[in-house]
Amino acid sequence: MAEEVTLSLADAETLSRQVLTNNGFNPSHAAAITRSVVAAQRDECHSHGLYRLIGCAQTAQYRGIDPGAEPEIIDQAPGVVRVDAKQGSSLLAFEMGLPLLVEKANRNGIAVLGINNSFHFSALWQEVEALSEQGLAGIAMTPSHAYVAPAGGKSPLFGTNPFAFSWPRPGKTPYTFDFATSVVARGEIELHKRAGKSLPQGWAIDREGNPTTDPQAALDGALLPFGGYKGSALSTMIELLAGPLIGDLLGHETQAATPDGEGKPFHGELIIAFSLEAFLGSDKERHQQHAEALFDGILSQGARLPSQRRFEARERSRVHGVTIPQALYDELKALATPG
């Protein structure tokens, strides 16, 4: 059995900040990124947890993120706030834009935060959950680099384009979901390759557009959207709303950062906030209670709510801390050490 290290949440935060600061991130970015990776680790979303710090450090080295960027808030319209991330992390841009988004949503009923020109690596559930913590419902979406073919097509065009939603529940963790619009995350293909395993049918096509179960052929080809032409359609909506609508790029116009500094990973993100208060006024509590009938209807037939496992992990981590592989811990310690 592989060796593991358990850290308190406070120790995980300290380690994360040290890694980021030692790799050129200013205190504001280090704090925002730390909040995100520690929250993901806490919820046992390992792929968005402390492991991501390695990618952050490397991306900074490849000039795929500016670790000292100062985001600029633009009050675009009564219902729209834009934040120009200036090639920095989307996370600080989100945190800086959030108060104005909430204010606009509470005033108008609905409002949008558009983040431009950002490096994005985090899970969207965090951002929609942040809205629900303030009593709002939220939707978030972002395009990424071209890994996914459109339904009926044969070459990569869309990102894995995640879509997230959250709804505030009185006295409870919110109802939250967050999914990629590809059948699986690209990381799943890489895991199958490393394990020497074939892919299930329906995940990917090869470079010629033919179905493949070979992980390398899939990496050279394209992932497929979830749910056929319907998932493919949803993915185009994400490209358009979190791209041209906010004056930003389509997924296929961006690339992962590369050692030569030529990769330009920067793109947009769109977050929509709905104020239950503004929609419902004095009926808010009654209809929020009424919404619980949906969750009761799901749970009473033995199905799960989307984030149930994550919220259970959150409770465990608050008591017991987070556990990561010794090898990851050693790598992070090395990244945190000057010299």
Considering only 14, 55, 58, 79, the residue that binds its own copies (CB under 8 A) is 79
| Contact range with its own copies by CB under 8 A, out of 20-28, 118-126, 258-266, 299-307 | 299-307
| Contact range with its own copies by CB under 8 A, out of 61-69, 88-96, 102-110, 187-195 | 102-110
Nearest approach in angstroms of CB 204 to its own copies is: 15
CB-wise, 23 or 235, nearer to its own copies?
Answer: 235
Contact between residue 89 and residue 37 where contact means Cβ atoms under 8 Å apart: no
Q: Which two tokens stand for residue 49?
A: 């947890």
| CA–CA gap between residue 268 and residue 114 (Å, rounded) | 7
| Contact range with its own copies by CB under 8 A, out of 34-42, 55-63, 111-119, 195-203 | 111-119
Q: How far apart are the first and last CA of the chain?
A: 32
Q: Is 89 a catalytic residue?
A: no
Considering only 187, 200, 202, 228, the residue that binds its own copies (CB under 8 A) is 228
Q: Is 188 a catalytic residue?
A: yes
| CA–CA gap between residue 312 and residue 321 (Å, rounded) | 13
Question: Does residue 328 interact with its own copies by CB under 8 A?
Answer: no
Amino acid at 206: D
Q: Which two tokens stand for residue 190?
A: 């890489």
Considering only 212, 236, 254, 317, the residue that binds its own copies (CB under 8 A) is 236
Q: 211-212 and 222-223: which strand pairing?
A: unpaired
Q: Which two tokens stand for residue 214?
A: 């070979």
Q: Which of 28, 36, 48, 192 is catalytic?
A: 48
Considering only 51, 62, 177, 311, the residue that binds its own copies (CB under 8 A) is 177
| CA–CA gap between residue 8 and residue 14 (Å, rounded) | 10
SS3 60: helix
| CA–CA gap between residue 249 and residue 265 (Å, rounded) | 10
CB-wise, 153 or 321, nearer to its own copies?
Answer: 153
Q: What is the dihedral of CA 218, 220, 226, 231, to 10 degrees?
A: -160
Question: Does residue 302 interact with its own copies by CB under 8 A?
Answer: yes
Q: What is the dihedral of CA 82, 21, 339, 57, to 10 degrees?
A: -40
**Residues 252 to 271 in contact with its own copies, rule: CB under 8 A:** 252-253
Tell which residue, 125, 74, 120, has the closest CA to residue 264.
Answer: 120
CB-wise, 54 or 73, nearer to its own copies?
Answer: 73
Q: Is 198 a catalytic residue?
A: no
Q: Which of 4, 47, 133, 287 is catalytic?
A: 47
Considering only 6, 8, 10, 77, the residue that binds its own copies (CB under 8 A) is 77
Binding mask 114-153 for its own copies (x = CB under 8 A): x----------------------x-x---------xxxxx
Tell which residue, 182, 230, 179, has the closest CA to residue 202.
Answer: 182
Considering only 49, 159, 243, 265, the residue that binds its own copies (CB under 8 A) is 243
CB-wise, 101 or 336, nearer to its own copies?
Answer: 101
* Angle made by CA atoms 179, 183, 189, in degrees to the nearest 5: 110
Residue with tokens 């949803």: 234
CB-wise, 51 or 295, nearer to its own copies?
Answer: 295
Residues annotated as catalytic (active site), given as ranges: 47-48, 188
